[in-house]
Structure formats: structure tokens, C-alpha cells
Amino acid sequence: EPQSRSTKELGGVVRENDTVRCSHGSRCFGLWEKRPGGEIQPVKQGCWPHVGSQQECHSDRCQITAPPSQIQNGNYRFCCCSRDLCNTYFTEAPHTQSLQREETALIALLTVAIAAVVIIALFLGHRMMRGLADVGSVSVCWQLIGRGRYGTVFRGCLHERCVAVKLFSSANRQNYVNERSIYSLPLLQQHDNIAHFLSADERKTADGRPEFLIVMDFYPHGCLSRYLSVHTVDWSTCCRMNHGVTRGLAFLHTELNRGDQYKPAVAHRDVTSRNILVRADLSCVLADFGLSMRLTGSRPCCPVDNDTMAISEVGTVRYMAPEVLGGALNLRDCEAALKQVDVYALGLLYWETFRRCSELFPGEAVPEYQLAFQAELGNHPSFEEMQILVAREKFRPRFPEAWKENSLVLRSLKETMEDCWDQDAEARLTAQCAEERLCELALWWSNKSCRPTA
């Protein structure tokens, strides 16, 4: 599974995810601190818009040329440069025995700049300064917030509005094209549980390579797995989260004709807790449509020759249905089969989310957050491991001991999960039926006799 990573190297070179892009005319700068033990960490990376005529900032590398004793403030190192993302790294050139007057002046200037930056950092609580780049005709400022399998996600501002910018490399162009086409379907952006798409753009990097951008609303709590890893939720919030995801998936699966607008049925094909985003009010939206497929309309999902593999073995391994893992996906009824694959993953999402519901564990501690099958296969299960566990052994995530109590709510909740992840794909609930089940669960909770007790 894709993981966000930082890479740090000693010996005078540091790489950190929080890099920036700067608009024409400004320069990138970086400030690093050497911590006890020798580890070097970035303190600030951003744009310096008033560099005047200092030639040292026109280099395409963020290089420190003065002796450390003169350029440091304590254990800090500072450099500036002119190319996009050039402040990802800094290097220390070989030290010279003497400095020209111009270099001495630069050292003084940098020392003052370091002091100013440190003061600002303390005042703003180490908030990242952000650079500027152009996306089409709009100005967007960038701060890296995550990396995925097919793209890198930045937080930014668009006309003073907070947005998320998903950046695809040229190698992932097809995922960009697919995601953009799904977001552009009629009626999709009118639904409250589909991530809100703003714009898309194609452009060239500084070295001439193409890159692709999708701009969306910013969701402050990030993805569902990240939120649940640090928060528990009450019953009402848990139901609202899962109902939003299910409602969004049911809408995606539905073919609609409204006047002159037509929306085909769509399979998501990568339903995971990383692809669910959490709003400020803790409701959820479905996102990341780079692997999605239209099931009806002018491009139905009938496999042709080599397309069979592309249709069947797609998605995140942890959430793959048994028929996908076992190579037994029913491609004779591709539309139904791919919807059933989505619903299987939905059942795993329910398990992950309701395990963090505080009211389902009365009188005891709520378990730590776990991904489905994490206890059995760890953080990075292989396709073969999942195939053996899920397809052959028909294993599913275990319910907590606290859920053995025979209350109406718990019985119905467990049955809903089991009916979503059934080994027989045709026996699974539809997304529409799962949505109805969640509505019933929310209503039953109002009757205290239906709830679990300590």
C-alpha cells in the first residue's frame, strides 16, 4: 500500500517532503537545524520574494558556500536558490580559507535572515511558508500533505480558498485522465458525498517533462484512516461517516437520466479508508477515481483480449474481494461483478470504523485503530498472502470480544458487515441496501433497549 515517506540523509544533505514551488521572480529558501545526535531536520522551506540582485540566489542548487562557523546561527543552516523544488536538498561546498567582501556582506544578510525566520517560526508555530505556482489562470500556493500510489497531494489556496492539489507525473497520466473524466460526469458534482472537483490542468516542469494537476476542495481532517488512527468517535458520528461513504457509493453505482443529463453507472474499484475524505463536520466523501470504470453508456466494461487483467486485478490488495484474489471475477456480468467488489471493500470499511466507536465498548477501552487484516498480515500484505487468507481460507476480520453481547444493534451491525463481505459475490448487499441498513441502525440506537450494555 502507498505510504507517505520522508527521506533524510546525513553528511550535509537533507531531503524532506515539505518542499515548495515559487512564482517567477521569487526564490526558494531553506532553513535546517542540526539536532542532538547529528540528525538534520528542516525548520522552514518557502519563498523569498525580495531577493534583489543577490547572485547567490540564482543558482539551481541550494548550496551553502561559506564556512559553517560564519553561516550558522547555533546549529542552523540557510540557503537559497531559483529552480522549482530546489530547496528540497541543501549541500555544503568545500570551505575556503578567505572570503571576499561580497561574501562577507552575504553572510551578514543571511544571519539577519536566519534570526528573522526563527522568530517567525516561533510566532507562527512552525507553519510552512508556501510558494506560488500557476495552475491554468489561477494562482495556487503549495504545501505537501501526502503521497499516494499515483499522485502527490498538496494543500494550497485558490483565491483565498483552501484547496487540495493532486499532482500526477507523466508516468501516471492515464490515472489523471481517468480521474478527470469521472469527476466531469454530469450530476456527479451535485452529490454531497462525492469529493468536490474544481479544475484540472496539464503543464511542463522546469526540465520539460509533462505533469498533470487536479484541484479539489480541501478536507481538513484528511483521509478516514488517518482520522480514525488518532480519534475515537461516538455512535452518531460513526453512522454519519459510514452513511456518507455508502450513500456516495450507491450514487456512483446508479445509472441516471435527468432531463438532458446522463450519468452512467460507475464502479470505484479502489474503495479504501485512504480514499475516503473527512469534512470539518466529520461527514465523509468518496474520492480518488483514478481506477474507476464506467459500467454503462457508450463505454461499458466488456473485456477485450488483454483488457481482462486490467479489469479484474485492480485496486489495493488489502481490500480486494476473494473473487479478484482468486481470479474468478464474473466478467460475463461485469457491471454487477465490479459493484460487488466495491461492496466487499465497504464491509471492511465498516469494520475499521465501528471498531473506533466508543459507545460500542461500554466500560472498557476502545481498541487501537487497525486496517482490515492488519493483525494477521501486518502493514504490507502481498497479493499471495491475501489470496491464501481471504480467497482460500475464507477468513474475515474478527469482531471484538465486546461485540459478543446480543443486543439488536450489534447483531444487525455484524450481519451488515457479513452481508457486504460474503464469500459469494452474488449474495452481497447492494450499496443501496447497505445504505438502508445504516439508516435503520441509526434509528434503533434511539431505543436504549437495543443498545449494548456494560
**Exposure of 3 in the CB half-sphere (CA atoms within 13 A):** 6
Tell me how far apart the alpha carbons of residues 433 and 428 are, in angstroms, rounded to a whole number: 10
- Long-range contacts formed by 123-127: CB under 8 A, 24+ apart: 126/43, 126/44
Report residue 402 as a C-alpha cell: 465486546
The gap between the terminal CA atoms of the chain, to the nearest Å, is 37
Q: If you count DSSP H runs as helices and E runs as strands, how many of each does the chain have, helices first?
A: 12, 17
Q: How many other C-beta atoms can be found within 10 angstroms of the C-beta atom of residue 353?
A: 24
Q: Are 289 and 268 in contact (CB under 8 A)?
A: yes
DSSP letter for 389, please.
I
Q: Which residues pair with 434 in a beta bridge?
A: none
Closest CA to 28 of 107, 90, 118, 94: 90
Q: Which residues pair with 277 in a beta bridge?
A: 223, 285
Q: Are 349 and 224 in contact (CB under 8 A)?
A: yes
DSSP letter for 297, please.
T
Residue 166, marked binder: yes
**Which residue of the set 18, 270, 288, 422 is catalytic?**
270
Active site residue 270: yes
Residues carrying an active site annotation: 270
**Which residue ranges are tagged as binding site for ATP?**
166
